[in-house]
A and B are shown apart, each in its own frame.
Chain A
Amino acid sequence: MSNTTEHTVKAFDDDIGELRALVSEMGGLAETAIGDAIHALIRYDLETAARVVEQDDRIDELEAEVERHAVRLIALRAPLADDLREAVAAMKIATVIERIGDYAKNIAKRVPVFEHRVEIEPLSILPAMAQIVSEMVHNVLDAFAARDAEKAKEVIERDEAVDDFYNSLFRALLTYMMENSHNITQSTHLLFIAKNLERVGDHATNIAEMVHFAATGEYLDDRVDVSETFAPEPEEDS
């Protein structure tokens, strides 16, 4: 190998390394945001909730940085095959992580609604659901860092459990709302929170697919999203 190619290879490795590191940093922020948002909700911790909302800006900033970086890398180095795939995947993953951050922010924004908390029985399902979703995000970011296609696949397999949680929570909440019309506001917010979590699970799955693709070059079969059939979409506040 000639000296120039060696140099180019080294420079490319540095660039892609930086790109991946930025994505990982974003992931760390989003992961923490989800955990904190749920924590804030359960403990009615307004301070933490406000911090989650505030720190979302940093995630957005990083996304822009990732994009700049990726575009420059592709333009300057004109990577091929595996390398190109990796660069594009990193950019796409950053976009999805940014969405996860938004959902965390949405959840955090709803915390003040629960000031006078009523005992909403279905609420007890929420932490368990949040736990699985957080684990999915955590594991998919680990898979990304390790370029571990197998671990990515495991994440995808868990999405079904999240959908099940969501569906049962959805039903329980609807029933509850019918019986307790005075708690309708809080119940509705809970419904949206559950939907947000369910979407985070979907996004973790999307990332897993991209990690898998970047690592192996193979697409996984598209999943059928059952929850979409009767689930309300969260309103888009950002």
Chain B
Amino acid sequence: MAEITPPRAIVALLTLFGLGWAGYAAGAPPLGLALGCLGGAVFGAILLWRPAPERPEPEPQAAPEPPEEALFPTLEELMNAIDDPSLLVIGRRVVRANPAAQALLGTHIIGQDVRLAIRHPAAAERLIGDTKDDESRIAIELVGIGERERPWELVIHELKNNTRFVRLADRSGTQAAEKMRVDFVANASHELRTPLASLLGYIETLQDGAAKDKKTRNRFLEVMHGEASRMQRLIGDLMSLSRIEAERFRPPAETIELGPLIDEACQATCATLGTDLAQIRIESADKSVAIAGDRVQIAQLVSNLVGNALKYSPEESPVTVAYESVSETMVRLVIEDRGEGISPEHLPRLTERFYRVDPGRSRSMGGTGLGLAIVKHIVERHRGRLNIESEPGVGTRVIVHLPKNPPTLSSARNESVTKADAPSLVAMRDSR
């Protein structure tokens, strides 16, 4: 029987490393990574820990103490601790399957030929072929194991003695992201098609000569102008979204003074919406507040939020824009209205692209449904935080935290992006 020889230890370590790396390469979250390493540890244990040799060790002092059996978990326990469906295959037979694998592939697979467990053509060859020394880790993308159309990555680790460790990593997350992109294109096309169809309708009516009198014709032209402007706005919004996304990993470094920028943005917004600037009250506790930001983007953020506040509240009801420094590092910007508010079930979805509480109404006001999505992306790029609090019939308050200094690249990147990905959205039930 085998003893702990250097090659064996090396294989075990390589397995450990390989599995960890597999998790990393697959973009696994930290937990998955940890489990991958654990999987490696399983094999470290399997390979290192065989029954004691029958003959005595030739050099007693060189041999390490055999590990206390009681200290180690069993192979069963270790495999059960792996969340990914995992199989141990010796020759062609499945000898172990963890609960995740049994749930996915059925309990019948233990003791069966591995081709009965996984019958995908791309996998079959790899699963039963001869072990090759040059490829100790093979990863294949597969669709349709267990459930049809569910994507998996099949990772096969070639171990010693014709043994294979087979792990299935769930890839539906990646595909979901892909689907979101596809949905986005579909949504965007749909949003463009509606005004285009109505434009064509009016043009055809004009061509037919149905609108003889000048008044009708002018009314038509006005509607056409409105629809065309909406398309233009939509395309503009889509372009700024993609620009912001493209710059996502490049934090803005410019220092900008918030006061003048907010004044300017509010004026511009009022001009486009045709409202009186007096409806907006701008407040600041500090004389000068500066942030590290992108001037154009912050102006767009203010304009989108103030625009919403004006659009979704009655005429002449006040809108407040307040900004102040709240800590060494952070600035807070609050935009508040006393409008119709938003009921809690809509809050979590507001920053989705094209999401509107009342699609018909938003469209008739020329809205694209991209305003808050753009705001969210701008906040993300600035490594800030976005909160939306609202109570129907009382009003809405949007709170944006933005950092004063440009973040140092190394520390800021991952952490703040994930944080901003999930802006906390709190319904403002009892806070007022």
B114: chain A residues at CB < 8 Å are 21
Are A25 and B121 in touch, CB under 8 angstroms? yes
Determine how close the nearest CB of chain A comes to the CB of B9; give it in whole angstroms. Answer: 34
Of A17, A24, A25, A35, the residue contacting B144 (CB under 8 A) is A35
Known: A35-B144, A145-B106. Is A28-B113 also a contact (CB below 8 A)? no
A18 CB-CB contact with B under 8 Å: yes
Q: How large is the interface on B (under 10, 10 to 19, 20 to 34, 35 or more residues)?
A: 10 to 19
Are B120 and A32 in touch, CB under 8 angstroms? yes
B117 CB-CB contact with A under 8 Å: yes
Are B148 and A135 in touch, CB under 8 angstroms? yes
A77 CB-CB contact with B under 8 Å: no
Determine how close the nearest CB of chain A comes to the CB of B242; give it in whole angstroms. Answer: 26
Known: A138-B144, A146-B108, A147-B108. Is A21-B113 also a contact (CB below 8 A)? yes
Chain A's closest residue to B146 (CB) is A142
Complex Cα gap A24–B144 (Å): 14
B93: chain A residues at CB < 8 Å are 17
Complex Cα gap A32–B121 (Å): 8
Are A24 and B119 in touch, CB under 8 angstroms? yes
Q: Which B residues between 64 and 92 are near A, CB-CB below 8 angstroms? A: 92
A201: chain B residues at CB < 8 Å are none
Complex Cα gap A191–B181 (Å): 34
Are A17 and B148 in touch, CB under 8 angstroms? no
Q: Between A and B, how many residue pairs show CB distances below 8 Å?
A: 56
Determine how close the nearest CB of chain A comes to the CB of B201; give it in whole angstroms. Answer: 21
Of B106, B116, B148, the residue contacting A24 (CB under 8 A) is B116
Known: A18-B113, A20-B113. Is A145-B148 also a contact (CB below 8 A)? no
Complex Cα gap A22–B119 (Å): 9
A29 CB-CB contact with B under 8 Å: yes
Chain A's closest residue to B92 (CB) is A21
Are A28 and B124 in touch, CB under 8 angstroms? yes
A135: chain B residues at CB < 8 Å are 148
Complex Cα gap A148–B106 (Å): 10
A31 CB-CB contact with B under 8 Å: yes
Interface 1/0 per residue, A141-175 and B, CB below 8 Å? 11001111000000000000000000000000000
Are A17 and B112 in touch, CB under 8 angstroms? yes
A29: chain B residues at CB < 8 Å are 121
Q: Which A residues between 46 and 95 are near B, CB-CB below 8 angstroms? A: 55, 58
21 A/B residue pairs, CB under 8 Å, sorted by A? A17-B93, A18-B113, A20-B113, A21-B112, A21-B113, A21-B114, A22-B115, A24-B113, A24-B116, A24-B119, A25-B121, A29-B121, A31-B144, A32-B144, A35-B144, A138-B144, A145-B108, A145-B117, A146-B106, A146-B108, A148-B108
Pairs of residues from A and B, 6 with the lowest C-beta to C-beta distance, nearest first: A28-B119, A21-B113, A21-B115, A145-B116, A24-B119, A146-B108
Which residues of B does A touch, CB under 8 Å?
A: 92-93, 106, 108-109, 112-117, 119-121, 124, 144, 148
